[in-house]
Amino acid sequence: MTTIYAARKVITMNPARPVATHVAVRDGRIVGAGPLEELARWGAHTLDTRFADKVLMPGLVEGHAHTMEGVFWRYVYCGYFDRTDPDGRRWEGAKSVEAVLDRLREAEAALSDFEARPDGPKDGGAEGKAPLTGFQLDPIYFDNRKVSRADLDAVSTERPIGVVHASCHIMNVNSRALELAGLLRPGINHPGVPLGEDGLPTGELKGPDVMTPVSVHIGFDRDMLACDERGLRDFGKLCVRAGVTTVTDLAARLTDDVVAMMLDVTAENDFPARVVPLRFFQGLTPEALIENAVVLRKRSSDRLRLGMVKVVADGSIQGFSARMRFPGYFNGAPNGLWYIPPEQLRETYERALAADVHVHTHTNGDEATQLAIELLEGALRKHPSPDHRFTLQHCQLADAAQFRRMAALGIGVNLFANHHFYWGDEHYALTVGPERAERMNACRTALDNGLTMGIHSDAPITPLAPLFTAWCAVNRLTASGRTLGEHEKITVAEALEAITLGAARTLKLDGEIGSIEAGKRADFAVLEDDPTEIGAETLRDVRVWGTVQGGRIFDAAAL
């Protein structure tokens, strides 16, 4: 039976019929969008008016997120900005290092201890002290005042403590955590382990290769990037609240047990989103990585799309671990870290093109972007692919010449438009300086050069909120209210396309999602306000009622 939904307005993102009053759905797919009298000609149907006062648009597509946010909310929120958890509770931001430490002390006092267990390292050691874990720390908001192991020792010297930065590229740990990982000793020589005047690690750890050995002792007893059943369901709640019907998990290990869990959870009738996890590169040779992606692709379902790959070239700009071309960091900090050797990246691209595996590459600094461009250009000469759509994620400091070269090679981009709001003032004054800060996340330049472009939140780095991301790309305002890069603003219509069809194109899913038109999945964002009429300056204030995903209805208020 066909159901025809009436709406105040249907924004289709289909240029042949951009606006409609009704949309017809059968078996989870769209029969058509248009006037009631036209859709009724399809035959027997039920008219559903529950959305008669709502605005429908294509289900929003978050092209760069991490389902681990669903797990993170079990830890202590240490972020600077106010933020809402999966159950709708608003958490106040911590505005100083001392406020962060006070929040950790409060949580530490409430923790119970338990005996050491032989089945895993999460016991905290022989004393049986449960770990204390926090997330979303960013010292850049505290005049870049570093958090040291001494700071965290003031919370507890017996309990292992670790706090992951907002970028997820850095963590701070106390002495007990370092001791358990065998790192509280002199003589360590690693660029990701800064040393203090005493020759011992300061407690700041940069990059996955040094974070991973410690993470198991501070509460990340699973792979830090993995999500468990409860966390995946909680992440689904965040998707409904944000109007998201397709979401990526853009750095997943995808072990057999994790894939089995994700297949089970996403198959549940009340799970509200399509998840697209990308196999993370770390710990695998290029040959094993691509072979694993090919095997995973065969296990895909409608709500769990497998078979793509994620590679990380460098780190974080605000964490000073991104790779920068001349003139480098504005404050004189040393250049950042390479997360993958160039030869390994070249081999990954070549093998992926040969096996028709889609690759997304994290490049924050412009030196990392340049490396990706040059290596992919060489790989394409060996394995021409007219529609590879390899995508650079973040790609924050690319200049016009790099965008032109990307366009010529068929490279897509997914730009971190939220960055201007959360870190724009710090980029302007500290990390890259005024000129480059004004061109960061250059949406206008990307579109003018004809690139496939999405924009993203990188949740949990910033909140999962594509309409807020769209507002950021349209207005380019920082948290202090400064307009940063007037010439790189895009229109509301372009921003809405970037969080629907644009993001879908970067995932090669635009034939199924991203617009409301006949044959596509019945995925809708259900809105209380019209994003095309509310005004550019208030686009972020559009209220989300919920979603329709594959024809199934999810009311955010009922979560």
Residue 195 lies in a domain: yes
- Domain stops at, among 193, 215, 237: 215
Same-domain check for residues 243 and 173: no
Q: What is the pLDDT of residues 367-396, one digit of tens each?
A: 999 999 999 999 999 999 999 999 999 999
- Minimum mean pLDDT among 223-232, 281-290, 411-420, 432-441: which range? 223-232
Q: What is the residue whose two structure tokens read 């480059």? A: 436
Same-domain check for residues 210 and 272: no
Confidence tier at 224 by pLDDT (50, 70, 90): low
Residue 548 lies in a domain: yes
Same-domain check for residues 180 and 259: no
Q: What is the pLDDT of residues 158-193, one digit of tens each?
A: 999 999 999 888 999 999 999 999 999 999 999 999
- Domain stops at, among 162, 183, 215: 215
pLDDT of residue 222: 56
CATH number of the domain that 453 lies in? 3.20.20.140
* Residues of the chain above pLDDT 90, percent: 91
Same-domain check for residues 147 and 285: no
The full DSSP string for 500-556 is: IIIHHHHTT-TTTSSS--TTSB--EEEESS-TTTS-GGGGGGPPEEEEEETTEEEEG
Residue 196 lies in a domain: yes
Confidence tier at 366 by pLDDT (50, 70, 90): very high
Residue 361 CB neighbour total at 10 angstroms: 29
Mean pLDDT of the chain: 94
User: How far apart are alpha carbons 304 and 471 in whole angstroms?
Assistant: 29
pLDDT of residue 118: 35
User: How far apart are alpha carbons 104 and 415 in whole angstroms?
Assistant: 33
118 or 328, which is more confident? 328
Q: What is the residue whose two structure tokens read 């005004």? A: 535
Whether residue 22 is predicted with pLDDT greater than 50 in this model: the reply is: yes
Residue 96 CB neighbour total at 10 angstroms: 12
Same-domain check for residues 211 and 232: no
Same-domain check for residues 195 and 255: no
Backbone CA torsion sign across 337, 342, 344, 350: positive
Whether residue 124 is predicted with pLDDT greater than 50 in this model: the reply is: no
pLDDT of residue 146: 87
Same-domain check for residues 396 and 356: yes
Same-domain check for residues 199 and 241: no
Identify the three-state secondary structure at position 4: strand
Whether residue 112 is predicted with pLDDT greater than 80 in this model: the reply is: no
Owning domain of residue 140: 70-215
pLDDT of residue 122: 45
User: How far apart are alpha carbons 103 and 138 in whole angstroms?
Assistant: 15
CATH number of the domain that 201 lies in? 3.10.310.70
pLDDT of residue 66: 95
User: How far apart are alpha carbons 125 and 143 in whole angstroms?
Assistant: 35
Whether residue 215 is predicted with pLDDT greater than 70 in this model: the reply is: yes
Mean pLDDT of 280-309: 97
pLDDT of residue 129: 85
Same-domain check for residues 231 and 210: no
Mean pLDDT of 240-257: 96
User: How far apart are alpha carbons 479 and 138 in whole angstroms?
Assistant: 15
Backbone CA torsion sign across 260, 261, 264, 265: negative
Split into its structural domains, the chain has a count of 2
- Domain stops at, among 215, 243, 262: 215
Start-to-end C-alpha separation, the chain = 27
User: How far apart are alpha carbons 87 and 353 in whole angstroms?
Assistant: 42
Residue 421 lies in a domain: yes
Same-domain check for residues 405 and 474: yes
Whether residue 121 is predicted with pLDDT greater than 60 in this model: the reply is: no
Residue 356 lies in a domain: yes
Tokens of 450: 């004809």
Identify the three-state secondary structure at position 433: helix
Residue 16 lies in a domain: no
Residue 46 lies in a domain: no
Same-domain check for residues 290 and 349: yes
Residue 22 lies in a domain: no
Same-domain check for residues 90 and 229: no
